[in-house]
């Protein structure tokens, strides 16, 4: 353990092994930094920007930046939290997020971050984009209304040969995450469940199952997101 280095988050002394990404290092020290596109076991790419922190006056994504000795990180400040809140609001208005009609409500990380930052209404106008629902696969419904293009499904849901069930399709404003129909035909129920679990929102929903845990008793209904991390 000679690689241990010292750094500070919001003035709190922390320790972690050199090279650990800030998000992970913060969690190891009981400090929660929110993430959406990042998940354990998947190479981080810093696309959603929700984990943004300030280091030396510069905004950096903490999921892709390793800690260094003596680093001073600003995370839970008014400025940074306001920035994160605006990202959440942008995500809410750029898709069609009808929480009351969503099976993922209460287990949704986007919604939970809305709660965490007390989003009462997004400050941006609603886009109401026209999106499709793909229910052609035997076990999964892929609802493009709710997709936030985080790529977590593309990176984490693969078959035995390492092929991804999900892939990016089109570009720019037309970009969407689609399900490979041929691969999906042979998807197991377990993989479908895992895909739904790994989706931070309600874009991947397992068919023929719903409300096993009632609204009000779900993951983020009683406790804020990140409360399993904070000490």
Partner 1 sequence: MSKPVLATTSLAGCFGCHMSILDIDERILQLIELVEFNKSPVDDIKTFTKPVDIGIIEGGCCNSENVEVLRSFRKNCKILISLGECAIMGGLPAMRNGIPVEECLHEAYIGGPTVQLNKSHILPNDDELPMLLDKVYPCHEIVKIDYFLPGCPPSADLIWNALVALLTGDPMKLPYEVVKFD
Task: Name the site residues for partner 1 (rule: CB under 8 A).
Answer: 92, 96, 98-102, 105-106, 111, 114-115, 118-122, 125-126, 128-131, 215, 221-224
129 or 138: CB nearest partner 1: 129
> In the bound complex, what is the minimum distance in angstroms from residue 174's beta carbon to partner 1?
15
30 or 129: CB nearest partner 1: 129
> In the bound complex, what is the minimum distance in angstroms from residue 216's beta carbon to partner 1?
8
126 or 168: CB nearest partner 1: 126
DSSP states of the chain: -TTEEEEEETTEEEEEETT-BHHHHHHHTT-----SS--TTS-----S-TTEEEETTEEEETTT-B--TT-EEE-SSHHHHHHHHHHHHHHHHHTT--GGG-TTTTT-HHHHHHHHTT-SS-SSPP------EE--SSSEEEEGGG-----HHHHH-B-TTS-BSEEEES-GGG-EEEE-HHHHHT--HHHHHHHHHH-SSSSEEETT---SSPTTSSHHHHS-TTTTT--
35 or 107: CB nearest partner 1: 107
50 or 187: CB nearest partner 1: 50
> In the bound complex, what is the minimum distance in angstroms from residue 143's beta carbon to partner 1?
12
> In the bound complex, what is the minimum distance in angstroms from residue 205's beta carbon to partner 1?
15
> In the bound complex, what is the minimum distance in angstroms from residue 79's beta carbon to partner 1?
21
């Amino acid at each position: 353990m000679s690689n241990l280095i010292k750094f500070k988050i919001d003035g709190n002394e922390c320790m972690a092994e050199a090279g650990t990404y800030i998000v992970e290092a913060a969690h190891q020290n009981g400090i929660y930094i929110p993430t959406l596109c990042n998940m354990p076991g998947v190479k981080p790419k810093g696309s959603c920007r929700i984990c943004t922190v300030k280091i030396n006056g510069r905004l950096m994504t903490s999921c892709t930046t390793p800690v260094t000795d003596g680093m001073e990180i600003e995370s839970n400040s008014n400025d940074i939290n306001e920035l994160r809140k605006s990202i959440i609001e942008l995500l809410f208005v750029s898709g069609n997020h009808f929480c009351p009609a969503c099976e993922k409500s209460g287990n949704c990380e986007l919604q939970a971050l809305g709660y965490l930052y007390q989003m009462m209404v997004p400050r941006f106008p609603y886009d109401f984009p026209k999106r499709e629902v793909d229910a052609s696969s035997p076990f999964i419904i892929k609802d493009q209304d709710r997709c936030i293009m985080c790529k977590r499904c593309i990176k984490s849901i693969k078959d035995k040969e390492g092929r991804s069930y999900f892939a990016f399709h089109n570009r720019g404003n037309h970009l969407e995450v689609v399900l490979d129909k041929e691969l999906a035909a042979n998807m197991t129920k377990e993989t479908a469940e895992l895909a739904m679990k790994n989706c931070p929102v309600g874009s991947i929903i397992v068919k023929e199952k719903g409300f096993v845990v009632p609204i009000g008793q779900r993951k983020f209904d009683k406790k804020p997101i990140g409360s399993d991390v904070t000490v």
